[in-house]
Chains A and B, each alone.
Chain A
């Protein structure tokens, strides 16, 4: 079931939580709403669910919410045929796992409600799917966070919803469990192919899980794109900064040279104040300066865990530390350790004109 939002906005007690947005979610798509807290992503999700009402639009175009061809703008939550997974699971604490999953089926109107046996079979099938059939008689308080979240997912899927909405589904879980559940949700989505929207503040989660990501900040949609395009071609500075670690280089450009304290970098830019942004993997470290760049730095921390070595750099001319990732081979060759003085060479940098969402400029160091 596709979802279509037209001019959906929301005010809470005079403050704007969500600017009127338009959004199309295709049938079978898994879409992530990504943003920092207070960006309006949860509000948007709750409006799709019907747990929150959108503002009545004062413009000639009314706020509309469509599931497929069905206009659900004024349809009550209970009649929208959605599944909602809450961040804190919201399991019914006085009901067993079995009864939690069976709840949606057992409250159906008598004429459409499946028989007891049928409910039982369906619940057991769902519990098997979330690998919890052996815990059917337990109570939520006796389960781990990851198990509770799987129960909550089975409960939401039991009523065969048209769309599945997840509010920070893995937010309260530890890293390992989160990774497992993510992979598992991805598989489940491929298998059952439901349309699904989830909220997260974790860029990695959004990029890994989603077919498309909606990046939000301050009640606005910043960019809607595939994870790949989002990372490679961010439309503005916010998206760039939110989707990964960023190093800042700010200075005055004169005659094609950017200066900042005793640091210099050749750039192909007109004169004036400039701020350049670099990803950690775009910083190369060397023992010598080059004609095009003279950026002396001191290593302040080294973390050799993972595929690459993460190095923290500081310098007098830098207001905040830089982060660089180097290959293990380079790590050994450069004899990296705390206190080592080196030179940074940008492989590549980005620059965003202040408010214009126009095409960002990027440059390549010689």
Chain B
């Protein structure tokens, strides 16, 4: 018996098309990045990567990601908790608002922050009087990175927590558990995989963010230049190998992230069949 829409011709055509497209649009560019990075040998690649400015960009990028994740973690869990465990007017609206960072172009987001917190901005003027500089400094980069990544964790948690309901937490409370104990021993273990998955996505986005960061950072070498910005700068300086060396680092982080994600998914599917 053949299933509807499962004729061998169609199947071969679809699989073939998928393979060709994957190769052309995903695999080939990835190979090209590493090929370009190592075009002049490993030593040149190493020289570029260990350049003082590039090293600073790596640390800045990783540092920003390391600060972004805990902020998004707290924000995401609190928001998901609020939306799935309480009924209040405006709940739907809040759920829609979470998606704003996804809907808005990152460049626009950066621009808004610049207009608000920049030297002549609404809040910026006051901040300037207090001698606090947010824009064109790492706090600004952190702010826009948090903005573009904050929905990831909440978005992962909300459907899960909705489907799990609050029965287990109610059971814990009737058994005498306090609020924090309930969260630590009942809620957290139930959402830990979704949480980790959200963290991986957040990290990937935080490391790779270009648009919003490029507006607010000023891309000062050795100061506010992140790895994605570094790629662009080196490329504009006609240092192709240098640009691709930084790009290769970014690609490597992305690949590691993907591997972690795939590992989690594999684990999750295994847990479903063998609880």
Interface residues of A (CB under 8 A from B): 49, 51, 77-79, 82-84, 86, 88, 90-95, 103-104, 107-108, 139, 141-142, 152, 155-156, 158-159
Are A107 and B174 closer than 8 Å at their CB atoms? no
A107-B176, A159-B176 known; A90-B275 Cβ under 8 A: no
Q: List 13 A-B contacts (CB under 8 A).
A: A51-B174, A78-B173, A78-B174, A78-B178, A82-B174, A84-B170, A90-B168, A92-B171, A94-B189, A95-B189, A107-B172, A107-B176, A156-B174
Q: How many chain-B residues does the 8 Å CB contact rule pick out? A: 17
Cα separation A158 to B171 with both chains bound (whole Å): 13
B interface residue numbers (CB < 8 A to A): 167-168, 170-178, 181, 185-186, 189-190, 275
**Quick one: which of A49, A78, A88 contacts B176, CB cutoff 8 A?**
A78
Pick from B172, B178, B275: contact of A92, CB below 8 A: B172
Taken together as a complex, chains A and B put the C-alpha atoms of A232 and B181 apart, in Å, by: 50
B176 touches A90 (CB 8 A): no
- Majority secondary structure of chain B interface residues (helix, strand, loop or mixed): helix
Alpha-carbon separation in the docked complex, A337 to B176 (Å)? 60
Chain A residues with CB below 8 A from B176, complex form: 78-79, 104, 107-108, 159
Supposing A78-B177, A107-B178, A107-B185 touch, asked if A84 and B190 sit within 8 A by C-beta, the answer is: no
State whether A90 touches B175 (Cβ < 8 A).
no
Q: Say how far B194's CB is from chain A's closest CB, in angstroms.
A: 13
A92 adjacent to B173 (CB under 8 Å): no
Give A207 to B172 CA distance when docked, in angstroms: 31
Q: Are A77 and B167 in contact (CB under 8 A)?
A: no
CA–CA, A156 to B176, complex, Å? 11
8 Å CB contact of B172 from A94, A103, A141 = A103
Find the B residue at minimum CB distance from A82. B174
Given contacts A92-B168, A141-B275, contact A83 B190 (CB under 8 A): no
Q: B190 contacts A94, CB within 8 Å?
A: yes
Q: How far is the CB of A112 from chain B (nearest CB, A)?
A: 10
Q: Are B190 and A107 in contact (CB under 8 A)?
A: no
A267 to B168, CA, bound (A): 57
Decide if A139 touches B178 in the complex (CB within 8 Å). no
- Top-10 shortest CB links A-B: A104-B175, A90-B167, A84-B174, A141-B275, A90-B171, A107-B177, A94-B189, A78-B176, A77-B173, A78-B173
Residues in B neighbouring A155, C-beta threshold 8 A: 171, 175
- Tell me, in angstroms, the Cα distance from A155 to B175 when the chains sit together: 8
The docked-state distance in angstroms from the alpha carbon of A88 to that of B165 is 11
Instruction: Compute how far the CA of A90 lies from the CA of B170 in the bound complex, rounded to whole angstroms.
Output: 8
Closest-CB distance, B228 to chain A (whole angstroms): 39
Q: How far is the CA of A118 from the CA of B189 in the complex (A)?
A: 26
Chain B contacts for A90, CB-based, 8 A: 167-168, 170-171
- Chain A nearest CB, measured from B183 CB (Å): 12
CB distance from B192 to the nearest CB of A (A): 9
A103 touches B190 (CB 8 A): no
Q: How far is the CB of A79 from chain B (nearest CB, A)?
A: 8
Contact A103 B177 (CB under 8 A): yes
Instruction: Tell me which of B176, B177, B181 has the highest count of chain A C-beta atoms within 10 A of its own C-beta.
Output: B176
For A88, the chain B residues whose CB sits under 8 A away are 167
Shortest A157–chain B CB gap in Å is 11
User: When chains A and B are docked, how far (Å) is the Cα of A49 from the Cα of B173?
Assistant: 10
Contacts of B171 in A (CB 8 A): 84, 86, 90-92, 152, 155
Closest Cβ of chain A: how far from B205's Cβ, in Å? 29
Q: Nearest B residue to A158 by beta-carbon distance?
A: B175
By a CB distance below 8 angstroms, the chain A residues around B177 are 78, 103-104, 107
A151 → chain B closest CB, angstroms: 11
Tell me which residues across on chain B come within 8 A of A77, comparing CB atoms. Answer: 173-174
**How close is B176's CB to chain A, nearest CB, in angstroms?**
5
Chain B residue nearest to A84 (CB atoms) is B174
* A92 near B174: Cβ-Cβ < 8 Å: no
Q: In the assembled complex, which residues on chain B have CB atoms less than 8 Å from the CB atom of A103?
A: 172, 175, 177, 185
Q: Report the nearest B residue to A86, measured CB to CB.
A: B167
- Closest CB in chain A relative to B267 CB, distance in Å: 14
B185 contacts across to A, CB distance below 8 A: 92, 103, 107
Is B168 within 8 A of A93, CB to CB?
yes
Nearest residue in B to A161 (C-beta to C-beta)? B174
> What's the nearest-Cβ distance from chain B to residue A288, in Å?
59
Residue among B167, B174, B190 making CB contact with A49, cutoff 8 Å: B174
